[in-house]
Amino acid sequence: MARENSFTFFGELENAPVVLFNEEAKTYRVTFTLKTIRRNGRNDFPKISVYSLDEETARSYVGKLKQGVYVQVRGMLSTKMVQKPVRCEKCGEISMIDTLQSEIISYGNPFVLSERVTPADIVEFANVGCLIGSLCTDIQRKDNATGGTAAQFQMAVNRRYRVSELEKGTRTDYPWIKVFGNTADECLKRLKKSSQVYISGAFQTRDINRHVKCNRCGEAMVYAERVGEVVPTGIEFLNNCLFDPKNLEESVSADEGAANEKT
C-alpha cells in the first residue's frame, strides 16, 4: 500500500523548547513551536517534536534552540486523541474533553540556521508537505461567510515510520483537510468515504473557541484551542473516487490549488 506523509518547514522559533522525559523508554523529547509563512502571506504555528533523545542531545538542543532563531525541520504529521481539562466557572468542576492534537514529528535533527531569514525569500518552501491516504469520513460542505464553496474531510494516513515512545499500536494518523473554491467543488463531486487521494499542500493552524457543557451542572463552557489541518495546493484522485468516464485520470490543477491556498 502506498504511504506518504512528509512535511518540510522553515521558520522562526516562537518559544524556548520544552524538554520532557519518558520514564518507560528512558528517553527525552524536545518540543517547540515554529512561526512559518506561506506564499499567501499567512503565518502558521506548527508544533514540532523531536523524540528518542539521550540527555546530552536534549541539553544541546536547549543550548542552540533559542527563541527567535530560524530552523529547518523535515518530519511527518502526527495526530492523536488527548483529553484536555476544562474548568467550569460556575461550579468549579473540571471536565476532561476529548480533542484531536496535531504535531510534526521530526525525522531527524532540525537544522539551526546561522543567520536570520527574510520571510519573503522562503514563502515558496517554508511550509510544504505531501500525504497519501483514504477518506475516513464523508466529505462535508462548509461554505464560508464570503459565499465561496468550502468543504472538509478527514483522512486516514498510514505511517512510514514509527516512534517507539508513542502508543505501540499507532500506525495511522487522521489529519483534517480543508478545501475551498474550485478545489472544493471538485472534491465534493469526486470524493466519498474510502476514496484514496494524493495531496500536496501546507499545514495550517487556527485558533478557535470550542463550546462544551459542564459534566456536573450543564453550564455552557468555552475554551480556546489551536487546531491543525492541511490546505491542499493540489489533489490527485487515485482510487474509489467518482470519476468521469470520459477522463479516468483526474486531478486538481496547480493553478486551482494555488487559488485554494489563497482563500
Helix (H, G, I), strand (E, B) or coil at 79: strand
pLDDT score at 76:
95
Retrieve residue 202's grid coordinates: 501546507
> What's the CA gap between 193 and 155, in Å, rounded?
9
The sign of the dihedral angle between the CA atoms of 140, 236, 242, 3 is negative
Residue ranges per structural domain of the chain:
4-262
Please determine, for residue 254, whether its predicted confidence score (pLDDT) is greater than 50: no
Please determine, for residue 43, whether its predicted confidence score (pLDDT) is greater than 80: yes
> What's the CA gap between 140 and 152, in Å, rounded?
5
Retrieve residue 119's grid coordinates: 520571510
263 pLDDT tier (thresholds 50, 70, 90): very low
Alpha carbons within 13 angstroms on the beta-carbon side of residue 121 total: 3
Closest CA to 257 of 191, 205, 186, 188: 186
29-53 mean pLDDT: 95
133-161 mean pLDDT: 90
Q: What is the pLDDT of residues 193-249, one digit of tens each?
A: 999 999 999 999 999 999 999 989 999 999 999 999 999 999 999 999 998 766 555
Please determine, for residue 121, whether its predicted confidence score (pLDDT) is greater than 80: yes
Is domain 4-262 in CATH 3.40.50.150, yes or no?
no
Q: Are 228 and 205 in contact (CB under 8 A)?
A: yes
258 pLDDT tier (thresholds 50, 70, 90): very low
Q: What is the pLDDT of residues 151-188, one digit of tens each?
A: 999 999 998 887 877 766 678 999 999 999 999 999 99
State CA 255 to chain mean position distance: 23
pLDDT score at 2:
78
